[in-house]
Amino acid sequence: MNVLTINNIKKSFGDNEVLKDISLAVNKGEVVSIIGPSGGGKSTLLRCATLLETVDDGIISYMGDDVTYIDAKGKLCYKKDLNKFRKVFGLVFQNFNLFPHYSVLKNITDAPIKVLKRDKNEVVSEAMALLKKMGLEGKENLYPCELSGGMQQRVSIVRALAMKPEILFFDEPTSALDPELTGEVLKVIKQLADEKMTMVIVTHEMAFAKAVSDRVIFMDGGVIVEQGKPEDLFENTMNERTKQFLQNYNK
């Protein structure tokens, strides 16, 4: 089953058409990386998929259940209970977005306890196990300002995982980090890929996208220019726009 299906979505900001008729599906256990130049629509696509932005047209579905629909007057509408869909996915931002006044543990456990109404002891136990797995053992009582950027990003990944999502979205998860810390975070994402976590990753890290993805999507100008297996896209592309982008990247 497709965890996420997007059919013919469009999104404009004023006169600027940022997404032009985008369709894609993500299967359970699949890792999809989205690459392309800045301003090509990658982050907007992610924001629309995670309901942070509303689309102007098209259908978004999670686990076969439509989030958007066309009403009797032909108008695009969103279903009323969006929280049901928000429980399906986790989102890791480029700037971590941790609550500065919460400890690491409270950042992770707050939503599962309050939103999912889960047992506190169980949630804390799982959070501690996840922190250990991510190499953050003993950091649970620290505050975000006491952690390196790489640690903060790993905490935000743990926070997303604590909600037990079906799919994880990453929006440029390493763009705010220096090279040394980038490696820490990419290692964690690679580990999740090995465990068959379903993921969609917007990234500028080409070598990482090539190594970790089942499929790579190249976006430019609000459209999907090309998609395929990493080896096909990075080594054998026939598409001139993709070639030009990768040449510029490899310089």
* Confidence (pLDDT) at 250: 66
Number of separate helices (H) and strands (E) present in the chain = 9, 12
Q: pLDDT confidence of 115, banded at 50, 70, 90?
A: confident
Higher pLDDT residue, 134 or 198? 198
CA angle (78, 83, 88) in 5-degree steps: 100
* Confidence (pLDDT) at 168: 96
Provide CB contacts within 8 A for 47, sequence distance 6+. 53, 171
Average pLDDT over residues 146-160: 92
Tokens (6 digits) for 152: 């903060």
pTM above 0.85, yes or no: yes
- Does 182 have pLDDT greater than 90? no
Residues 212 and 201: their CA atoms lie apart, in Å, by 10
- Does 11 have pLDDT greater than 80? yes
Provide CB contacts within 8 A for 129, sequence distance 6+. none
Average pLDDT, the chain: 92
